[in-house]
Structure 1
Amino acid sequence: MCRFPFSLIIGLVSAIFACSINNANPDAICFNVLDYGAAGDGTTDDSQAFLMAWNEACSSETENPTLIIPRLTFLVSPVVFRGPCKAKNINFLILGMILAPDSPQTWKGLDQSQWLAFHGVSGLNVGGSGWINGQGKGWWDQSCRYHPHMKECTSLAPTAVKFLSCKRSSLSDIHFVNSAQTHVLIMRCDGMEINHLIIQAPETSPNTDGIHIQASYNVVINDIIVSTGDDCISIGDHTSNIYIFNVGCGPGHGISIGSLGRSGNIVQVENIYVSRVYLKGTTNGARIKTWQVGKGHVRGVTFENLYFDSVKNPIIIDQNYCNIRGACKEQKTGVQISDVLFENIYGTSSTDVAINLNCSRSVACTGILMKSIYLTSDKIGHKLTSYCTNAYGYSLGMIQPLPCLQI
């Protein structure tokens, strides 16, 4: 089990008390964005005030500086909060609401993949009781996914918050709503803890994943609720030591590893642990998806203690993933999927195939272990089935529907 430095969370809690808005502790070093010219009226662009406050907090030689966003509404254009910082730990305390521009035109000439980003910061604690509102509707209305024939439709939209090349950092207690695309991205990070989040976007919003992890290690996610239009949590390539606990998911696309290997690259994903997840009305439950052209491996994966409520594909491995079903030619390559455990999984399926292990005919799935699985149909009188292609492993205890693994 990955042991995370919980002192970071304690440091953020201490900052909340030390840097109260009305009576700041004179011994605490706090940087309130209002002191740098932020208006907090929801219409004035407060980006420069945020950056000035960040730059001073980041360059402060105090041990534990805190940047404060008080209980007002702040309109912020795309910004990057850059490190490294002089302090061992730095707190980014959100008590009010940070609001994105509502027009995609604001990103003209800028990187339209991001809105708020933290880059190269160690000991970063982002938290508070506040909100981050991505105002994504303008992007959704011109999405190529739903409007493929629209002139200048967009397939890339801003992620609400990116953590890039950060170490020993945390995100806690924030309420995210309506990101234009993914809500939280963790990329090239080592040591990240995410706690007590609520993430919400309409079920029809395109590509609005809750949390996506890419090229990162030693990540712990605990106690979050995600209701969006895409994966609640998705795990990308070059990830390891990922621990996910106590998640409420739905609507959305479930908990997904992948898709992986789309460009034919070598995939390296291992030691993924998912436990105590409740999924309601999601497209998928526990899913691993890889492209046939990929190489490398996914191994050491555990999905346990999951409860499904009317989930379309409760357990699914797809080594033949394709963005257009049936349109990708069968290849002799594939990502090796091995040592995967599905244990203590219960609930209902909204389709008749509750267990679907669609493995490559060239690169089999191996070491699949199923223990204590009991799934029933959410429709009276329907009988569930399992489907397996080139999947090898063992089943222990009660398995319903009947398993189809090859020994």
Structure 2
Amino acid sequence: MDLEVSKVAVFAMYILFFALFPLNDACPRANPKSSSLNVLDFGAKADGETESSQAFSKAWDAACKTTNGIPSIMIPRGDFLVNQIILGTILAPASPSAWKVEYSPKWLTFENVNGLNIMGPGGINGQGKGWWDQSCRDHPGLALSLASCMDCSISRIHSTNSPQIHILILDSNRTKIDHVTITAPESSPNTDGIHIQSSHDITITGSTIGSGDDCVSVGDYNSDIHISDINCGPGHGISIGSLGKDGNVADVKNIFVRDVRLNGTTNGARIKTWQGGKGTVRDVIYERLKFTNVKNPIIIDQNYCDQAAPCKEQSTGVQISDVTFRDFYGTSATDMAISLICSRAVACTGIKLESINLTSAKTRRSVFSNCINAHGTIVGHVEPRECLKK
């Protein structure tokens, strides 16, 4: 099912995904050709006053029953008053070739919508394997996107096997995600659970995320991000970055990550920036994290380089400052439990390690820490022994 919402101001829109029956069981499967249904043709009015819930529901039913193509429901510009709608599990096309060329590689997009609540229980199945078998750089795809939205929420849905990012929050304010479940194989490329970009005052809580990339990734131009009560694994941990690629200027601040349980992930608490970048990452707190067999529990990589050939060392870098790692415990899958690798040109400053107890997941093995140009303080007991400079 392909649903695109563009530049719609919705007064009261509550979408409930009813998960008892997947879409392919609830209605006939369409033929592999395109078919578009406009909600205006089913009685919806873009006047901000006419109650259009039934029109939206009729468009959905018609899309389910169509036999002349893969259906898409089109909602044109305007103000639609929509209350509760009950839908089935939303199933994406199984192959990238089914997507229309003129559309961007996004599946479910809500843009310029204020006060939108997407609630479950229910599901979104991105059927991403057809994408994973191809180059992810040539065939990007996002499942659910909120773009330029305010006072919105996503809760109690289950997103499975997105082509790439499961949930994207872009250029949005005052948005909350809670009690979502996200699953994708550990081997699936770039299937971040939730990615946040250019957004402010975002809360993510009470969720379980397992994927082939970051459970939650905080991109550039973000502030006041609160992430708490997360089960993460498999995946690449809770990451800030990567930032500063191609000399870009980063601006990330006031990031709070609390009460996260990481199991079998490649990273735990991670900040990654490219050499040659500019700008700042500041005022970050990771606290009360539990690690079970995590390869890199604490990692700052200011020399991030996602390419086969070595990246040339440069004289500029993103300034990382005032970062706290507090109340961590658990096991590391590797000997290097703490890795703070900062640029030789631009030091990490104001790093605080407080009450940390990390041991090896392997019997009779020790864990170590490694620091390059990382400056800060130690509070309480820290194991492995710290390597910060004052």
TM-score range, shorter chain: 0.7 to 0.9
Aligned match for 1:107, one of 99, 115, 134: 99
Aligned to 1:275: 258
What SS does structure 1 have at the residue aligned with 2:337? Answer: strand
Contact 2:273 2:318 in 1 (8 A): yes
Q: Deviations along 1:280-332, whole A, 9 cap, x unmatched?
A: 00000000000011100000101001000000000000100000367101001
Distance 1:380 1:338, change over 3 A: same
2: distance between equivalents of 1:74 and 1:366? Answer: 60
Residue 160 of structure 1 deviates from its aligned partner by 0.3
Structure 2: runs of 5+ lacking an equivalent: 1-11
Describe the shift of the 1:340–1:325 C-alpha distance in structure 2 as closer, same or farther (beyond 3 A).
Answer: farther
What fraction of aligned residue pairs are identical, expressed as a percent? 50
CA RMSD of aligned residues (A): 3.0
User: Following the alignment from structure 2 to structure 1, what is the Cα–Cα distance between the partners of residues 258 and 232?
Assistant: 13
Query: What secondary structure does 1:209 align onto?
Result: coil
CA spacing shift, 1:137–1:268, aligned 2, 3 Å: same
| Cα distance in structure 2, aligned partners of 1:194 and 1:54 | 31
Q: What is the 5 A alignment of 1:171-210?
A: 171-210=154-193
Q: Which has the higher contact order (CA 8 A, sep 6+)?
A: 2
Between structures 1 and 2, the one with greater strand share: 2
The one-letter code sitting in structure 2 at the alignment partner of 1:386 is: S
Q: Deviations over 1:2-30 (max 9, x none)?
A: xxxxxxxxx888x86xx99xxxxxxxxxx
Which residue in the other structure is 2:5 paired with?
none
Look up the SS of the partner of 2:145 in the other structure.
Answer: strand
Which aligned pairs between 1:7-406 and structure 2 lie closer than 5 A?
A: 40-43=27-30, 48-49=36-37, 51-52=39-40, 56=44, 59-61=47-49, 85=79, 87=81, 93=85, 95-143=87-135, 154-324=137-307, 327-406=310-389
User: Aligned AA for 1:403?
Assistant: E
Which residue is 1:6 aligned to?
none
AA in 1 matched with 2:187: T
User: 2 CA distance for matches of 1:209 and 1:77?
Assistant: 27
Q: 1:143, 1:206 within 8 Å by CA — same for their partners in 2? A: no
Distance in 2 of aligned mates of 1:375 and 1:55? 61
Letter of the structure 2 residue corresponding to residue 362 of structure 1: A
Structure 2 CA distance for partners of 1:289 and 1:84, relative to 1, 3 Å = farther
**Distance of aligned partners of 1:166 and 1:372 in 2 relative to their CA distance in 1, 3 Å threshold:** same
Partners of 2:36 and 2:71 within 8 A in 1: no
CA–CA distance in 1 between the matches of 2:223 and 2:13? Answer: 26
The alpha carbon displacement at 1:190 in A equals 1.0
Q: Secondary structure at the match of 1:43?
A: coil
Deviations 1:256-301 (A, max 9, x none): 0000011211100000000010110000000000001110000010
Q: Using the alignment, how far apart are the partners of 2:46 and 2:167 within structure 1?
A: 22
How far apart in 1 are the matches of 2:360 and 2:39? Answer: 53
Give the match's secondary structure for 1:319: strand
Superposed displacement of residue 143, structure 1: 2.2
* Deviation, structure 1 residue 79: 6.6
Change (3 A) 1:241 1:334: same
Deviation at 1:80, TM superposition (A): 7.0
Rounded Cα–Cα distance in structure 2 between residues aligned with 1:117 and 1:53: 21
Equivalent residue, structure 2, for 1:27: none
> 2: CA distance between counterparts of 1:166 and 1:132?
20
User: What is the CA–CA distance in structure 2 between the aligned matches of 1:124 and 1:81, rounded to whole Å?
Assistant: 15
- Cα contact 1:308–1:347 (8 A) shared by 2: yes
Distance 1:215 1:245 in 2: 20
CA–CA separation in structure 2 for the residues paired with 1:310 and 1:235: 23
Tell me if the contact between 1:80 and 1:117 (Cα under 8 Å) persists in the aligned partners: no
Task: Return the alpha-carbon distance in structure 1 between the equivalents of residues 260 and 300 of structure 2.
Answer: 18
TM-score by length of 2: 0.85
Q: By how many angstroms is 1:81 displaced?
A: 5.4
Aligned-pair CA distance for 1:78:
6.6
Task: Please give the alpha-carbon distance, in whole angstroms, between the structure 2 residues aligned to 1:214 and 1:398.
Answer: 35
Q: Which runs of 5+ in 1 are unaligned?
A: 1-10, 21-33, 145-153
Q: CA deviation at 1:126?
A: 1.1
Query: How far, CA to CA, are the matches of 1:387 and 1:327 in structure 2?
Result: 20
Separation of aligned partners in 2, 1:316 and 1:298: 14
Cα contact 1:349–1:376 (8 A) shared by 2: yes
Counterpart secondary structure, 1:138: helix
Q: Is the 8 A contact 1:73 1:96 kept in 2?
A: no
The aligned amino acid for 1:308 is F
Q: 1:175 to 1:329 in 2, by over 3 A?
A: same
Distance 1:201 1:392 in 2: 38
Instruction: Give the TM-score normalised by structure 1.
Output: 0.82
Distance 1:125 1:232, change over 3 A: same
